[in-house]
């Protein structure tokens, strides 16, 4: 990674010198009450030049666990670097966070409008701000997400395949799974990739939920990466991952064959064999019981925890093949 030698970091017209801290705010828009709505950007700079790392969460307003991870990184002082600069944006979609909604008020998914436009929709304008005001200063991004709706994601890092640098950093992070997935069109990850800024995308937990194990995995992973980059303050201890990350090369969603009351009977992160019973779909009247069976051997790394499901709903995400190169 390159070394940032600028004496001043200029964001939103504010110049932050080496060794200084600042919180600058971006005015997203005014509410219908004419009150302003701001996104805080928390900047910590070491006296020693080094990489600039961006840590973000809350692209989807209902993904609270990602916000909690970044909150803890700030509250514990992990974002005060030994070298370089750390920029934290705990809640990018502040509208969604206030409304407990995944989307913006205009109904758009912020993670599908990047790189955005200065004169586009509200979500598009926020994306444009991130890509023009913050990302040009950045060498590397860690973006924290959770599973949508009631789908609980195992802690995982998502990266594209055949990128040695990202693979190295993903192993350093130390989540239980590394999931190879293509950059989605108009996503934040894809927009960063196009301008040459690598990103580790963390997924873990589910919406409207804070899960201690997921939070600890995210915080400890961020510490490991910062330590690896020579940026973590020496007062913090860095733990080794409990297990070596498993790389998921291919996977499939198992969808419900029937509507009804639903209960998974297998734990997240579990390895199952083909035809193992992993859940039940029943009716309220005690006359129907369908056993959900694993379509193949693999690891369960996403479980739908909704008690009521409809035919066609995604209920399990299971690995098909583990990548043979686990180095």
Mark whether 182 and 273 lie in a shared domain.
no
pLDDT at 60 over 80: yes
Cβ(50)–Cβ(32) below 8 Å: no
243: in domain: no
pLDDT at 2 over 80: no
- How sure is the predictor about 322, in pLDDT bands with cuts at 50, 70 and 90? confident
Mark whether 221 and 261 lie in a shared domain.
no
Chain CA centroid to CA 104, Å:
18
233: in domain: no
pTM: 0.95
Q: What is the CATH number of the domain that holds 14?
A: 3.40.630.10
pLDDT at res. 35: 82
Q: Where are the alpha helices (DSSP H) in the chain?
A: 64-75, 94-99, 122-129, 164-173, 188-194, 212-228
Domain count, the chain: 2
Nearest to 201 by CA among 177, 224, 185: 177
3: in domain: no
240: in domain: no
pLDDT at res. 34: 82
Between the CA of residue 18 and those of 52, 137, 234, 275, what are the distances in Å?
A: 12, 14, 19, 59
Mark whether 132 and 49 lie in a shared domain.
yes
Mark whether 187 and 286 lie in a shared domain.
no
88: in domain: yes
- Average pLDDT score over residue span 164-170: 97
223: in domain: yes
- Partner residues linked to 322 by β-bridges: 248
* Cβ count near 133 (within 10 Å): 16
Mark whether 204 and 262 lie in a shared domain.
no
pLDDT at res. 310: 98
Expressed in angstroms, the distance from the first to the final Cα of the chain is 21
What range does the domain containing 271 cover? 252-322
pLDDT at res. 196: 97
Nearest to 55 by CA among 44, 63, 46: 44
245: in domain: no
pLDDT at res. 300: 98
* pLDDT tens digit sequence for 231-273: 999 999 999 998 899 999 999 999 999 999 999 999 999 999 9
Mark whether 87 and 127 lie in a shared domain.
yes
* pLDDT tens digit sequence for 170-215: 999 999 999 999 999 999 999 999 999 999 999 999 999 999 999 9
Asked whether the CA dihedral 177, 178, 180, 184 is positive or negative, the reply is positive
Helix axes 212-228, 64-75, angle to 10 degrees: 50
Distance, CA of 243 to CA of 65 (rounded, Å): 22
* pLDDT tens digit sequence for 271-286: 999 999 999 999 999 9
Q: What is the CATH number of the domain that holds 308?
A: 2.40.50.100
According to DSSP, residue 50 is labeled B
Distance, CA of 67 to CA of 86 (rounded, Å): 16
Mark whether 163 and 219 lie in a shared domain.
yes
* pLDDT tens digit sequence for 19-34: 999 999 998 887 778 8
Mark whether 268 and 224 lie in a shared domain.
no
Mark whether 26 and 138 lie in a shared domain.
yes
Helix axes 164-173, 212-228, angle to 10 degrees: 130
pLDDT at res. 1: 59
Nearest to 140 by CA among 183, 87, 91: 87
* pLDDT tens digit sequence for 86-126: 999 999 999 999 999 999 988 999 999 999 999 999 999 99
Average model confidence (pLDDT) for the chain?
94
Cβ(134)–Cβ(85) below 8 Å: no
pLDDT at 5 over 70: no
Among 212, 228, 244, residue at a domain's last position = 228
Mark whether 295 and 217 lie in a shared domain.
no
Mark whether 160 and 48 lie in a shared domain.
yes
Mark whether 134 and 256 lie in a shared domain.
no
14: in domain: yes
Cβ(208)–Cβ(63) below 8 Å: no
């Amino acid at each position: 990674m390159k070394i940032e030698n600028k004496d001043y970091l200029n964001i939103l017209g504010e110049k932050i010198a080496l060794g200084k801290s600042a919180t600058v705010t971006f005015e997203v828009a005014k509410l219908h009450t004419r009150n302003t709505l701001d996104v805080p950007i928390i900047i910590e700079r070491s006296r020693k030049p080094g990489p600039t790392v961006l840590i973000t969460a809350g692209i989807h307003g209902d993904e609270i666990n990602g916000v909690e991870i970044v909150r803890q990184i700030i509250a514990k002082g992990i974002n005060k670097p030994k070298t370089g600069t750390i920029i934290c944006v705990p809640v990018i979609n502040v509208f969604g966070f206030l409304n407990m909604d995944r989307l913006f008020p205009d109904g758009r998914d912020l993670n599908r409008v990047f790189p955005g436009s200065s004169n586009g929709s509200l979500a598009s304008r926020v994306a444009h701000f991130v890509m023009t005001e913050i990302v040009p200063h950045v060498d590397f991004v860690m973006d924290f997400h959770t599973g949508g709706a009631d789908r609980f994601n195992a802690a995982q890092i998502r990266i594209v395949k055949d990128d040695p640098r990202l693979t190295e950093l993903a192993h350093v992070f130390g989540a239980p799974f590394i999931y190879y997935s293509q950059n989605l069109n108009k996503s934040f990850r894809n927009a960063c990739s196009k301008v040459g800024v690598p990103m580790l995308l963390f997924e873990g937990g589910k919406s409207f939920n804070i899960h201690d194990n997921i939070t600890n995995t995210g915080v400890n992973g961020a510490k490991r990466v910062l330590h690896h980059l020579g940026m973590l303050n020496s007062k913090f201890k860095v733990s080794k991952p409990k297990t070596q990350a498993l790389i998921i090369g291919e996977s499939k969603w198992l969808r419900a064959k029937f509507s009804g009351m639903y209960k998974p009977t297998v734990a997240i992160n579990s390895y199952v064999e083909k035809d193992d019973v992993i859940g039940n779909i029943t009716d309220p009247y005690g006359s129907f019981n369908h056993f959900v069976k694993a379509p193949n051997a693999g690891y369960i790394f996403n479980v739908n925890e909704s008690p009521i499901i409809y035919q066609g709903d995604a209920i399990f995400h299971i690995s098909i093949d583990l990548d043979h190169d686990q180095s």
